[in-house]
Amino acid sequence: DADVTQTPRNRITKTGKRIMLECSQTKGHDRMYWYRQDPGLGLRLIYYSFDVKDINKGEISDGYSVSRQAQAKFSLSLESAIPNQTALYFCATSDPKNRDNYGYTFGSGTRLTVV
């Protein structure tokens, strides 16, 4: 089983629909992140969470919301999807206490298309 699991892997949705992307992890990391990847723009941070009660906006949080239901689960919602939210979305976790595992562990990504 993957350490960081994202569902769904692919999704096509219509403009104006609400959609939730889910992320769960088995690494026991406190910190979780949501990024979107667009061609030529790299990965941009949407939201991040340092623990269940700590949620922070990233550089492009408008149009998105998140929920940290448990240490292992971090969901990203698009309240009313629009076409320019079409992108590849990645969830990641990190454990800053473990320098041998510094950096992120990424999920496999969710490819979202808004039509």
Partner 1 sequence: AQSVSQHNHHVILSEAASLELGCNYSYGGTVNLFWYVQYPGQHLQLLLKYFSGDPLVKGIKGFEAEFIKSKFSFNLRKPSVQWSDTAEYFCAVNAGSSASKIIFGSGTRLSIRP
Residue ranges in 63-102 that form contacts with partner 1 under rule CB under 8 A: 90, 94, 96, 99, 102
Among 69, 108, 113, 115, binds partner 1 (CB under 8 A): 108
DSSP secondary structure letter of residue 101: G
CB-nearer residue toward partner 1: 85 or 109: 109
CB-nearer residue toward partner 1: 68 or 107: 107
φ, ψ for residue 14 (rounded to 5)?
-95, 155
CB of 77 vs partner 1, minimal distance in Å: 20
Q: Is 1 an interacting residue with respect to partner 1 (CB under 8 A)?
A: no
CB-neighbour burial class of residue 40 (10 A; exposed 0-12, middle 13-18, buried 19+): exposed
CB of 11 vs partner 1, minimal distance in Å: 16
CB of 82 vs partner 1, minimal distance in Å: 23
Amino acid at 12: I
Report how many residues bind partner 1 under the rule CB under 8 A: 23
Is the alpha carbon torsion for 58, 55, 105, 25 positive or negative?
A: negative
Q: Using an 8 Å Cβ cutoff, are 92 and 107 in contact?
A: yes
